[in-house]
Amino acid sequence: MHRKLSHSIQTFTAWCNSHLRKAGTQIENIEEDFRNGLKLMLLLEVISGERLPKPDKGKMRFHKIANVNKALDYISSKGVKLVSIGAEETSAKEGLLLWCQRKTAPYRNVNVQNFHISWKDGLALCALIHRHRPDLIDYSKLRKDDPIGNLNTAFEVAEKYLDIPKMLDAEDIVNTPKPDEKAIMTYVSCFYHAFAGAEQAETAANRICKVLAVNQENERLMEEYEKLASELLEWIRRTIPWLENRVAEQTMRAMQQKLEDFRDYRRVHKPPRVQEKCQLEINFNTLQTKLRLSNRPAFMPSEGKMVSDIANAWKGLEQVEKGYEEWLLTEIRRLERLDHLAEKFKQKCSLHESWTTGKEHLLSQKDYETASLMEIRALMRKHEAFESDLAAHQDRVEQIAAIAQELNELDYHDAASVNTRCQGICDQWDNLGTLTQKRRDALERVEKLWETIDQLYLEFAKRAAPFNNWMDGAMEDLQDMFIVHSIEEIQSLITAHDQFKATLPEADKERIAVMGIQNEITKIAQTYGIKLVGVNPYTVLSPQDITNKWEAVKQLVPLRDQMLQEEVARQQANERLRRSFAAQANIIGPWIQTKMEEIGHVSVDITGSLEEQMNNLKQYEQNIINYKSNIDKLEGDHQLIQEALIFDNKHTNYTMEHIRVGWEQLLTTIARTINEVENQILTRDAKGISQEQLNEFRASFNHFDRKRNGMMDPDDFRACLISMGYDLGEVEFARIMTLVDPNNTGVVTFQAFIDFMTRETAETDTAEQVMASFKILASDKPYITVEELRRELPPEQAEYCISRMTKYTGFDASPGALDYISFSSALYGESDL
C-alpha cells in the first residue's frame, strides 16, 4: 500500500513539474514545497493562464495558510470539488479510456481495457505515440516480450519530443501485479493534451484543403471559359468580314462557288460553333452555380468576354449572315440576266452589222451622174426601198441601245466593250441617215429627168421588203433565247409560239402574192419581148431569197417547239423538287415546334424527381440527335433546288433557313434545359435541399408563371413570395429583385428563383470559418509561416497558399510571416483568387 502511494506521489510530482517548468521552477517534495502556498498558486496560474490574487509575502504560519486558502478558493471558484470521487471524475476517466481505445485499435498486441495492467507491456504507450507521430517510433520493431524496453522507449521519446516528463518507472510498472491506476491515468492524460492540439490542427487543415480545392477548381473553370470565349470570339471576328464582303464575282461559276462555300459554312463550319456557344453558356451557368453554392463572388469574365458580349457578337454574325445568302442569290440571278442580255446583244449586233455591211459604200456612190434615164429612175426607186428598209431597222437599233443601257445598269463586267460596240453602231446609224438624206437630195435633183418606171418591179420591191422584214423578225424571234422560273412562264411562251404558228397561213398567202408579182413581170416580158437583164433594180431581194428565208422559217418552227418542250420538262422536274422539299419541310417544321413544346412541359413537370426529369430530357436529346438524318436529307434536297436555280416554293412556308434556325434553337433549348436540371441537382445536393422542397418551389413558380414561358413578372413574383410566407415591404422587395434580376430585365427566371430560395434555406461555409482554421494551424498567432503551411497542408495546397498570401505587416511579425486573414477574406470577396 505504501509503495502504491509512493508511486502516486512520484507521478503527481512529475506532473506538477511538467507545468512549473514553464515558469522556471520545480518542486522536490510536495508536502514541503507547497506548504507556504506560493508554488501552489504559481502552478494554478500556469495551468489556467489566469492571474490569482497577490500572495502574502510573510513567513509566518498565518501568511502560509492565507496563501493556501487563496489557492483553494480559486479551485472552488472554478467548480472543482476537493472531496471524494464524483461523477465528473468518473466521466473524465471513461472519456480518456475511450480515446485510448479508439487510437490504439489498429495496433497488434494492444487491447486497452483499463488504466493498470493494459499498459504493463509498454505497447499501448508506443502505439499512442506512433498513431500521432509515426516518425518518432518504428512500431514494427517493438516486441511484446520486452516490456521494460518498450516503456523506456515511450518515456524517453515523450520527454524528448513531446515535452511530457517521465512520471513513471518502467521496472515498477512491470514488477507490480496491478500498477497504480491514477498514476498511469495522469501520465496518459498528458498524451491526450499533447495530441489534442494536433487533431484540432488536422481538422483545420482538412477544412482549408477543401476550401482551396473549391477555389482551384473554380479557377480552372474560369480559365477554360476564358479560353473557349476567346476562341469563339476570334472565329466570329474572322468570319464576319468574309460574310460582309459583298464584292461580286464576274462569272456565274465563281458566284456559284461562293454559294457552295456558304453552304459548307452553314452545314460544316458553323454547327460546331453553335455547340461551342451553347456549351460556353452552360459552363458559365455551372461555374456561377458552383461559386454561389461555395459562397464565392460571381465570376466576371475579362472585358468583352461576357456571355452577353458573346451573344451580341453572335447576333452580329447572324445579321450579316442573313443578308449574305440573299445577296448571293440576287447576284446569281443578276449574272444570269447579264449573260442572257450579253448574248442577246451580240446576236442583234451581229444581225445589224451584217445588214449594214456595204451600205455606206453604196450610199456614197455617185453612179447617178453617168446613169441613163432608166437607170436613174431605177436608182430613185431603189433608194426609196432602201429608206423603207432603213426605217424598218430603226427599232432594232433602239433595241440594241436599250440592251446596252440595261447591261450598264446591271454592272456588266465587260460593259466597256458593249458601250464601244453600241456607240459604233449608233454612230454608223447616224452616218447612214446622213448619207441616205444626201443621196435622196441628189436623186431628187434629177428626179424630173426620169419619167417612167417599171411599176411591177416597184410593187415587188415594196411588198417583198416588209415581207422579208417579217421573216427576219420571225427568224429572230424563233432563235431568241429565253429564261423562265416556273411552269406558268414557259406555258406563256408556248402560248405565244402557238399564236405565231397560227399566223403562218396568212404569211404564206403574202408570199404567194409577192411571188405572183414576179410571175407577172416574167409574163409581161415574155408577152412584149422584153429581155430581163440582171436583178430587180429596186431591191436586192430576189424571189430565191424569199423562198430560202421562207424555208428557213418553216425549219425553225419545230426546233422552237422542241426547245419549249425541253424547258417544260425542266420546269416539271423543278416542280417535283419543290414538292419533295415541301413534303419534308412541312413535317420537320411542326416536329421541331412540337419538340420545343414537349421540352417546355418536361421542364415544368413536378410529378417526378429531378433525376427522372433528367432521364426524360436525355431521352428527348437522343431522339433529337437521331432525327438529324432528316435534316441532312432536307439539306441535300435544298442543295439540288439551289443548283437548279429555284428561288421560290409555293408548296410550303418553310425555308431551309427557317428549318436551320429552328433546329439550332431546339439543340440549344434541350442543352440549356438539361443544364438547368443539372444545376438544380447540384444546388439540391450542395445545399441539402430535399426533393419535396424543390417540388414545392416548382409548384409555386408554375402557379404564378401565368404566361407559361418559364418566367414571372415582378408582381407575380411578389405574390409568389407572399404565398410562401414572406412579409415584404417595398424596400425588402426591391432588395430581393436586385438579387433575382441583377440586369433589370423585368422578369424572374426559374433558375434565379431556385437560387434565391436555396440561399434562403441553406447554410454555407464562411470566411470566418476559414480564418479560425488557419488560426489553429498557426497556434493562435495572427499570422502563419511557410514552414507551418508546408507541415500542416498537402504540398499542392501549401504552395497554393504560399504563392497567394501577402506578407504579414503587424508589429509582432516574425521573418517570413504571411497574412492568412486577408487571404481568407479574399476567398469570399471581390478578388482575382
What is the band of 61 on the pLDDT scale with cuts at 50, 70, 90?
A: low
Phi/psi-derived region of residue 816, left when phi > 0, alpha when psi is between -120 and 50, beta in every other case: left
Contact 412, 336 (CB under 8 A): no
For the chain, give the percent of residues with pLDDT over 70.
Answer: 90
The DSSP bridge partners found for residue 749 are 711
- The CA–CA distances, whole Å, from 607 to 263, 601, 613, 614 equal 44, 11, 9, 13
The DSSP bridge partners found for residue 807 are 818
Q: What is the pLDDT of residue 450?
A: 39
Is residue 728 predicted with pLDDT exceeding 60?
yes
Residue 784 DSSP class: B
Is residue 520 predicted with pLDDT exceeding 90?
no
* Dist. CA 70–CA 75, nearest whole Å: 9
Number of other residues whose CB lies within 10 A of the CB of residue 334: 16
Contact 683, 293 (CB under 8 A): yes
What is the band of 210 on the pLDDT scale with cuts at 50, 70, 90?
A: confident
* Dist. CA 437–CA 363, nearest whole Å: 9
Query: What distance, in Å, lies between the first and last C-alpha atoms of the chain?
Result: 67
> Mean pLDDT throughout 679-705?
79
Number of other residues whose CB lies within 10 A of the CB of residue 784: 25
The DSSP bridge partners found for residue 819 are 806
Name the amino acid, one letter, at 566.
E
Question: 118-122, 288-292, 506-510: which range is least confident on average?
Answer: 288-292
* Dist. CA 43–CA 23, nearest whole Å: 8
Residues 6 or more apart from 93 whose CB is under 8 A from it? 115, 185
Question: For 375-426, what is each residue's pLDDT tens digit?
Answer: 777 888 888 888 888 888 888 888 888 888 887 877 777 788 888 988 888 9
- DSSP SS3 for 818: strand
What is the residue whose three cell numbers read 446576236? 347
Q: What is the pLDDT of residue 86?
A: 40
Residues 6 or more apart from 707 whose CB is under 8 A from it? none
Q: What is the pLDDT of residue 297?
A: 87
Name the amino acid, one letter, at 78.
K
How much of the chain is helix, strand and coil, in % rounded to 5?
75, 0, 25
DSSP 162-189: S-----S-HHHHHHSSS--HHHHHHHHH
For residues 638 and 827, which has the higher predicted lDDT (pLDDT)? 638
Question: For 316-373, what is each residue's pLDDT tens digit?
Answer: 988 888 888 888 888 788 778 778 888 888 888 898 888 888 888 888 887 766 665 5
Name the amino acid, one letter, at 603.
S
What is the band of 107 on the pLDDT scale with cuts at 50, 70, 90?
A: very high
φ, ψ at 142 (rounded to 5°): -80, 150
Residue 448 DSSP class: G
Q: What is the pLDDT of residue 6?
A: 58
Question: For 442-495, what is each residue's pLDDT tens digit?
Answer: 777 655 543 433 677 778 888 888 989 998 988 888 888 878 778 888 889 889
Name the amino acid, one letter, at 115.
F
What is the band of 217 on the pLDDT scale with cuts at 50, 70, 90?
A: confident
By CB atoms closer than 10 A (0-12, 13-18, 19+), residue 491 is middle
Instruction: Give the sign of the dihedral formed by CA 410, CA 415, CA 420, CA 425.
Output: negative
φ, ψ at 177 (rounded to 5°): -55, -40
